[in-house]
Every structure is written in structure tokens, then in C-alpha cells.
Structure 1
Amino acid sequence: MKHQNDIKLQNEQEIKLFETAKKRMTSFLKANYENISDITYKEKYDIDPMGGISVEGYLNKDPKQEFWGIYNKSMDEIGGSSVEAEKKAACEKEFCKY
């Protein structure tokens, strides 16, 4: 019984972490890239051994305009990312704050 409760609690924590990661990724994308009107997330994620969680999806209702990123919970930021979109001029050399 305790084991089942532990699994349920872990799943709830993962879902909460995934929702936080999606919010931070949304902020990251809008702050750093041009012409983002719509963000669609895939409902799958991976958690790495260091506690980071991946988020991925596509932009502007175009499945070819893919993105993915790793949310670093301890730093509350997107660590690594790949985005098929044009960066804002002010964010070319380093990512803008989000």
C-alpha cells in the first residue's frame, strides 16, 4: 500500500514539474524568438538523473517548426535547447532574460 502511494506521489510531482517546465519554456521562447504566436507541447517528457526534465513541441501550428529544451529545476531555467525559429536581434549573442 505504501509503495502504491509513493508511486502516485511521484507521478503527481512529475506532472507538476512538467507543467512548470512548460511555463518556463513558453517564457523562454517568447523572450528569445521572433513571431511566436502559438506553442504546442507534446505530452511526453523525460527526466534525467540530475533532475532536469525535457519539453518539446512545435511552434505556430507548424509541426516542422520543432523545439525542445531541458528545464533545470535547481536554476529555474531552460538549460539546453534547440528551436526552429528566428532569434530576436537582441538575443543573438546570449539568451535574453525570461
Structure 2
Amino acid sequence: MKKYIIILMTLVIITLGGIFMKEQHDKKTAAQEAKKEELYSLAKKRMTDFIKTNYNDIKRIDFTNDYEVNPMGGISINGYLNGDKDKKIWGIYDKANDEVGSFIVDAKEKPECEDKVCEY
């Protein structure tokens, strides 16, 4: 009888430990997702500022939700301009330097921003 009680107590402890570990994992995952969403919002804002400063005739910028955070902390974002899905944009926002590093924008640059990237 004593052997069964020890086995039952061991199973209860293992189960409770597993539940606790699962809860901790879920909290960590939720915190990481919230951090990614915050980074994505910041990247959209900086990319919008960059595009409106450096390119002509930008009325609207639509971003897709297929972003990717790279291991170095940058985030790759995609979208299109003025409601035209053929006028694509793509850029990598570097949070450490607070700038848009690499980018592709299907629009005409402003004359003063052709030779260099204008401050945004």
C-alpha cells in the first residue's frame, strides 16, 4: 500500500511540475510575440517616414503582415504604395541604428534625395 502512495505522489509532483513549466513557456512565448509586434509597429512607422521623405507622390502605404525578425534584431517588412499591389516596397529596419538599412521602393525619388538618402 505504501508503495502505491509513493508512486501516486511522484506522478502528482511530475504532473504539477509539467503544468508549471508549460505555463512558464507560454508566458515567455507571449512576451516574445508582444515584443515582435512592438518592433513591427516601430518598423512600419520608420519605413513610412523614410518613404515619404525620400520619394514623390506617396499618398498611402499599405504593409502586409508577413514580416520576419532576423537574429541580429532587424525586421524585414513588405508592402505596397498607393493601393497598387504592383508598386511593391520592401525594407529592413535596423533597431540598433534606428534606420532603414536595405530597401526596395517602386517609386520615383525626390531630386534632392537621388544621390543620398535624405534625413527622415
Matches within 5 A, 1:1-98: 1-98=23-120
- RMSD (Å) for aligned C-alpha atoms: 0.5
Structure 1 residue 55: deviation in Å? Answer: 1.1
Q: Secondary structure at the match of 2:35?
A: helix
The 2-side partners of 1:27 and 1:7 are apart by 30
- What whole-Å deviation, never above 9, does each CA across 1:26-60 have from its counterpart, x for those lacking one? 00000000000011000110111111001110001
- Structure index of larger Rg: 2
The 1-side partners of 2:71 and 2:115 are apart by 30
Higher share of residues assigned helix: 2
What amino acid does structure 2 have at the position aligned with 1:71?
Y
What amino acid does structure 2 have at the position aligned with 1:23?
K
Count of aligned pairs: 98
Q: Which runs of 5+ in 2 are unaligned?
A: 1-22
State the identity as a percent.
Answer: 43
Provide the TM-score with structure 2 as the length reference. 0.80
Provide the TM-score with structure 1 as the length reference. 0.98
Q: Which runs of 5+ in 1 are unaligned?
A: none
What amino acid does structure 1 have at the position aligned with 2:79?
G
The 1-side partners of 2:97 and 2:47 are apart by 13
Higher relative contact order (CA 8 A, sep 6+): 1
